[in-house]
C-alpha cells in the first residue's frame, strides 16, 4: 500500500480526491418525492412491457415516488432528426428530471427491442454541463413470450453501466407474460409479481440513499485532470 504520493509518481496531487465519509453528506433539499422515469420497449396496443411498467409505477407511487412514464410512440430513430425534435426534447428533459429510472423491454431474438435501444441511444452521456443519466439509480426488467430468460436484463445492465448509472442488484424477468396479465392489463398475483415489488422497493431505497450525493459519486479524477489541462491551455492562449 502506498504511504505517500512519492509512491504514486503519476498522480497529480491537486486533482486527487481521497474519499471519506464526511464527503458523502447529502447536498440540497431532499424532502421532495423521489423522481422516477420509466421506459418500456414496445409499441403494441397490448404491450406486456408497458403493462409491467405501469404495474411497477403503481408500486412506486404507493411508496411515495413521483413517476413519469415516457411513451416511445413517434420517437424517431436516433440520428434521423435534429435533437430539437419534440419527442427527443421530452425524453431528455425527463431523464434530467429523474433521480432514478426503470427500463423494461420484451425479449426479441434474444435481445432488447429496437424501441428500447432507440430511447437509450437518444439519451446522451453529457448535454452541455448537464448529465442526463450519470449517477441515477436504475432498475431493469423484461418480459418473455416463452420460458424465462435473462438476456434482456443482462443487456440493460451493460447499457446502464455504460451510461454510468447505479444499477440495483435485483431485477425482474417475467416468462410467458401473456399468462401473467388479465384483460385489463393488470398483473395477476404470483411470485413474479412479488419480485416486481421487491425490485421497486430496492430501487426506492437506493434512490433515497444516493440522492444529494450523485455529483460527488460520479466526479472522476481523470475528468478533473482533463479540465485542469484545458484551463491551462486557455490561459496560455490568452498570453
Residue 200 belongs to domain with CATH number: 3.40.50.360
Report yes or no on 15 lying in a domain: no
**Quick one: pLDDT band at residue 1, thresholds 50, 70, 90?**
very low
CA dist 48 and 52 (Å) reads 6
Report yes or no on 63 lying in a domain: yes
Q: Structurally, how many domains does the chain consist of?
A: 1
CA dist 236 and 239 (Å) reads 5
Report yes or no on 213 lying in a domain: yes
CA dist 223 and 136 (Å) reads 19
**34, 64 in Cβ contact below 8 A?**
yes
Quote the pTM value: 0.89
Residue 93 has pLDDT above 80, yes or no: yes
10 Å Cβ neighbour count for 49?
A: 26
What domain range is 234 assigned to?
31-238
For the four alpha carbons of 6, 10, 11 and 15, in that order, the dihedral sign comes to positive
The reported pLDDT for the residue numbered 95 is 96
Amino acid at each position: 500500500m502506498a504511504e505517500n504520493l512519492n509512491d504514486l509518481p503519476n498522480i497529480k496531487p491537486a486533482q486527487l480526491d481521497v474519499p471519506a465519509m464526511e464527503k458523502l453528506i447529502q447536498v440540497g433539499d431532499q424532502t421532495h418525492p423521489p423522481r422516477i422515469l420509466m421506459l418500456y420497449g414496445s409499441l403494441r396496443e397490448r404491450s406486456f412491457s408497458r403493462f409491467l411498467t405501469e404495474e411497477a409505477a403503481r408500486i412506486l407511487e404507493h411508496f411515495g415516488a413521483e413517476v413519469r412514464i415516457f411513451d416511445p410512440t413517434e420517437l424517431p430513430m436516433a440520428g434521423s432528426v435534429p435533437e430539437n425534435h419534440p419527442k427527443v426534447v421530452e425524453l431528455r428533459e425527463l431523464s434530467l428530471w429523474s433521480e432514478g429510472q426503470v427500463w423494461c423491454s420484451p425479449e426479441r431474438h434474444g435481445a432488447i427491442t429496437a424501441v428500447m435501444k432507440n430511447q437509450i441511444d437518444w439519451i446522451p452521456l453529457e448535454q452541455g454541463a448537464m448529465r442526463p443519466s450519470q449517477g441515477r439509480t436504475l432498475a431493469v426488467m423484461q418480459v418473455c413470450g416463452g420460458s424465462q430468460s435473462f438476456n434482456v436484463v443482462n443487456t440493460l445492465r451493460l447499457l446502464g453501466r455504460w451510461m454510468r448509472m447505479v444499477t440495483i442488484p435485483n431485477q425482474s424477468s417475467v416468462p410467458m407474460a401473456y399468462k401473467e396479465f388479465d384483460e385489463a392489463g393488470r398483473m395477476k398475483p404470483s411470485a413474479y409479481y412479488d419480485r416486481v415489488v421487491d425490485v421497486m422497493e430496492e430501487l426506492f431505497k437506493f434512490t433515497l440513499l444516493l440522492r444529494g450525493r450523485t455529483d460527488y459519486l460520479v466526479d472522476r479524477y481523470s475528468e478533473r485532470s482533463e479540465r485542469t489541462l484545458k484551463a491551462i491551455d486557455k490561459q496560455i492562449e490568452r498570453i
